[in-house]
Amino acid sequence: MKKELLMATALVSTLGATSVAQAVSMSMGGSMKIGAEFDSPESGVDTQNVVDLSNLSISLSETTDAGTTISSSFGIIDEGASDIGDDDNAIKLTFTDGSAVELLNAGNAAGTHAVSVPSGAGEMGVAGATSNRTPMDLDFAAGSTALGVEWHSAADFLADGLKMSASYSTDSGAAKGATARLENSWGVGATYVTSAGDTALTIGTGFSGGDVANTLTQTTGGKEGFHAGVSAVTGDLTVAVGYADGNSFAPDTITDISANMDIEGSVLKAGISYVTGDITLAVGVTSGEGKDSNFGATTTADDSKDTMSGSVTYAVASGVSAVVGYLTEDHNDDGATATTGGSSWYFGATMSF
C-alpha cells in the first residue's frame, strides 16, 4: 500500500510539473454592459428593456523553438438567459516573416478585409417580424464553413502598406437536407494603408463566392459578391464609407422553413466619429436594397432598409464609459412601405477590462 501511495504521489507530481512547464501563455479581456433600451416601432406598442450583457474572451498563445506562434481563443457570452460559448475559433500559425495560416473555423478572406465604418454605439434595436431580408453588412456575401483554411500575407506584401488574404472552406460531407446550406466557399481580400498629408488612409476590398447544397429541385441560390471601402483618419476624426453588392441565401422562416430564399442585394454604409477629450461622438447611416425569392423563382419587387444611428460616449473613469445612443429605421417590403421600422433609444454604461 505504501508503494502504491508513493507511486501515485510521484505520478501526480510529475503530471503537475509537466502541465505547468507546458502551459501556454494566456491573456483575457471582456466587458460588462448594463442599460435600458426603449423601442418605438411604427406598428405595435412601445417596449422598454433592461440590457444586461457580459462577455469574457480568452486568448491562448505559444511560440515554438523555430519561431512559429500557435494561437487560438474562445469566448463566453452571458445575455441574461443563458451562457453561450463562442466556438468559431481557428488554430492560427504565425510565421517568422509575419505571414499566417488559420486552420478550421477560419472564416472568409473577403470579410477579413471589410473596412470598419463608424456607427452609433449602444444596444439599440427595432423589434418586429418581417419578410424583408435586405442585407445590411458589407460582408453579407462572404460565407464559410467550419472546415476551412485562410492564409494571410505579411505586411508590405508586394508593395508598401499592402496585406492580402485568401481562403477556402468545404462542408462536412453530411447528407443534403431540404434546408439549404453552404457547401463550399472561397474568398480573397486586400487592405492597403497609405497616407495623404496628415490623413491615414485604409482601403479594403474583397471578393467571395460559394455553392449551396440542398435536396430541392431548384438549387439556384448561393453566395457571391464583392465589397470595397475606405477609411480616413485625421487626428481624432475618422470618416469611412463602404459599398457591397452580391447574392446570399436564407431559409424562409416567415412562411415555410423548407422554402429556401435567394437574396440579391447591395449595401452602402457611411459614418463619422470624433473624439474630443473624454467624449466620443459617432454617427452612421446604412442604406440597403434587396430582392428575395424562392430558389428558381422570379425575383420580387425591391425590399429596402435605411438606418441612421448616433451616440455620445463619455469616459467616466479608466475602463468605464457612459453611452447614450439613438437609432431610426425605415423599411420597404416588396416595393411597398412597411410599418416594421421605428426608432430606439439606449442609455447605459460599459465596464471593460
Q: What is the CATH number of the domain that holds 74?
A: 2.40.160.10
Backbone angles phi, psi at 58, to 5 degrees: -115, 125
Instruction: Give the number of other Cβ atoms within 10 Å of residue 117's Cβ.
Output: 23
Assess if residue 114 is contained within a domain: yes
Interatomic CA distance for residues 282 and 259, integer angstroms: 40
pLDDT value, residue 342: 86
Where does residue 191 rank: exposed (0-12), middle (13-18), buried (19+ CB within 10 A)? buried
Assess if residue 2 is contained within a domain: no
Closest CA to 152 of 195, 206, 116, 194: 206
Interatomic CA distance for residues 307 and 278, integer angstroms: 27
Assess if residue 19 is contained within a domain: no
pLDDT value, residue 266: 95
Number of domains in the chain: 1
Assess if residue 8 is contained within a domain: no
pLDDT value, residue 293: 80
Interatomic CA distance for residues 293 and 272, integer angstroms: 35
Interatomic CA distance for residues 75 and 337, integer angstroms: 40
What is the reported pTM? 0.84
pLDDT in tens, the chain (353 residues): 443 334 344 434 433 444 444 688 999 999 999 999 999 888 778 888 898 888 888 999 999 999 999 999 888 877 655 555 555 678 999 999 999 999 988 889 999 999 999 999 989 888 766 677 888 999 999 989 889 999 999 999 999 999 999 999 998 877 887 778 888 999 999 999 999 889 999 999 999 999 888 776 555 667 899 999 999 999 999 999 999 999 998 876 555 555 788 888 999 999 999 999 999 999 999 999 988 887 777 777 788 899 999 999 999 999 999 999 999 998 887 766 666 778 999 999 999 99
Q: Which residues pair with 348 in a beta bridge?
A: 35, 323
**What is the residue type of 129?**
A
pLDDT value, residue 42: 81
Cα dihedral sign, 286-292-295-296: negative
Which residues lie below 8 Å from residue 313, measured CB to CB, with a gap of 6+? 121, 279, 280, 282, 321, 322, 323
Assess if residue 281 is contained within a domain: yes
> Residue 66 corresponds to which cell in the numbers above?
523555430
Q: Which residues pair with 262 in a beta bridge?
A: 249, 293
Residue 332, classed as helix, strand or coil, is strand
User: In sequence order, which ranges of the chain are alpha helices (DSSP H)?
Assistant: 2-21, 109-112
Range of 199's domain? 25-352
Closest CA to 290 of 260, 259, 335: 335
Assess if residue 297 is contained within a domain: yes
Interatomic CA distance for residues 222 and 213, integer angstroms: 9
Q: Following CA atoms 111, 116, 118, 119 in sequence, which dihedral angle do they give, to the nearest 10 degrees? A: 10
> Residue 334 corresponds to which cell in the numbers above?
416588396
pLDDT value, residue 333: 78
Assess if residue 10 is contained within a domain: no
Backbone angles phi, psi at 180, to 5 degrees: -65, 145
Cβ atoms of residues 50 and 67 within 8 Å: no
pLDDT value, residue 263: 87
